[in-house]
Each structure stands twice: as C-alpha cells, then as structure tokens.
Amino acid sequence: MDPSTARPLQVTVWGEGRHEQTEPGVARRYPDGMHGAVANAIRQHLGEGARVRTAVLDDPDQGLPASVLDTTDVLTWWGHCAHDEVDDALAERVHARVLAGMGLVVLHSAHHSKIFKRLMGTTCNLLWRNEGDRELVWTVDPSHPIAAGVPNPIVIPEQEMYGEYFDIPAPDELVFVSSFTGGEVFRSGCTFRRGHGKVVYFSPGDQDYPVYHHPDVRRVLANSVAWSAPRGELRGLPPVDFAATGWFEPRAFLG
C-alpha cells in the first residue's frame, strides 16, 4: 500500500487447517494453527501497518466470502491435502482479485493449489523428499525488499526437501534459491506479476517442522506481504475497450 495512505493493509491469512485437526504433532507445533503462526509473524513485523485476520477451509464459504475477499489487500495461502476441496468458483474469484491488484503470497505445498496453478498455467510439479533435510535459503537478489533483514543463508535445520525441476514459468524475479543436504537445489523465493497483482511464492513451511516459528522465515513472510501489497486502491481488472482516434492520426503521414 502507498506509504502516504493512513489505512493499514487488510491481510487475510488462509490455511487448510486440516493437519492440526488430525495430527497431534502438528497441533503441538502450531497450537494456534499454522495459519495462526503465519498471521502472528505478519503482525510482529508489520505492527499497526496491517490488520490481519485468519480463515480456514472449514469456515463458512471456505473462509473467503465476498465480504472478506473483496476487502483483502494481500492474501496468503497455505494448502496441502485438500486442494481439490477448494471450490473452482472460489479459485476463480481469487484469480480475478489478483488480476485486479490484490497481492497473493503462496506458501510451501500451495504450489499445487488451484489458484497458483491457474496463475502459472503449468503443472507446478516438483521433486520432493520428506526426511528432515537441512535447508539453506540463499539470497540471490540482496537488493529485493523481500530479502531485507535476513541473513544469507537462512539456515533451517529440518525441512521437507523441494527440488528441481520445478515446473513454473520463469519468475519475474528470483529472490531465494535453496540447497539441501542431499545436494538438491530449488527456486524457493520467486515473484510474478499477473494483471495488476503481484504474486510471491515462498517454499519453506512444511507442517512436520516448526518452520513458521523460525525468526528469519517469519521476517520473509512479513516482507512478502508488504512487497506484494497494492499501491493505493485496487485498480480493477485490466479492461478491453474501444480506442477512438485521438490527437495522433497515423493516416495523416500517408499523404
């Protein structure tokens, strides 16, 4: 949001909320839910500059009724085991909202979410292994605002391995690349522009590890929200319109 405006960012943190219900280890790691940990990270770093609310798949209207989605400046999205349960109509509404200028921060296994695949136009498939690998998150664009205030590398002691090939379009900006103890590498921090909106994909954050309690990861989450926020009010969908002849008349040069 334009710093000149006094209105705080309206941030909605969306998560499936399913692993916390069925897996005691996840519930212990994230007593407020994974979405709660993400929300608290944003509140911690953005303070009064953001109003943060949370939503989960089992909420009415899957957590994103029009009254919520239409007043959201930045949406964060974490999903894993229930991508197919997200209504196609909801994915389309989120897609339209991004094109109109809403920021979207896609986290970890949400690479397979309906909304991310819709925005990327690819399978978004990747290589994976969940054996507690150490992950080093290397900053490859140190001037990028998303990388502000974090060490190079960020050291995550245990994490699910995501590796190349990652079937996404070439990012508009590549901010982080991760390496793992098995030798794999991964484009773990990417940005994209779609319509008037900005999209961030940030991969660290598997439910089996306390990654969203990691101080450097938490700063990246907040940085991503701040960077992807619209400048001023959302501009609406890019139009298709008829352009009448204006002051410039090419035919005048043809004699």
Q: What is the pLDDT of residue 34?
A: 94
**Residue 124 near residue 109, CB atoms below 8 Å:** no
201 pLDDT tier (thresholds 50, 70, 90): very high
Find, among 64, 50, 65, 72, the residue nearest to 5 by Cα.
Answer: 50
For the chain, percent of residues with pLDDT exceeding 70: 92
For the chain, percent of residues with pLDDT exceeding 90: 85
Provide CATH code, domain 9-254. Answer: 3.40.50.880
Q: What is the pLDDT of residue 231?
A: 86
Strand order in the sheet with 154-163: 50-56, 9-15, 74-78, 103-107, 197-202, 185-194, 173-180, 127-139, 154-163
204 pLDDT more than 70: yes
Q: What is the pLDDT of residue 6?
A: 61
245 pLDDT more than 70: no
Mean pLDDT lowest among 122-126, 233-237, 248-252: 248-252
Mean predicted lDDT score pLDDT of the chain: 92
Mean pLDDT lowest among 4-8, 63-67, 146-150: 4-8
Task: Determine if the pTM surpasses 0.85.
Answer: yes
- Kindly report, residue by residue over 3-15, the tens digit of the pLDDT: 445 689 999 999 9
79 pLDDT more than 50: yes
Residues 116-123 have a mean pLDDT of: 97
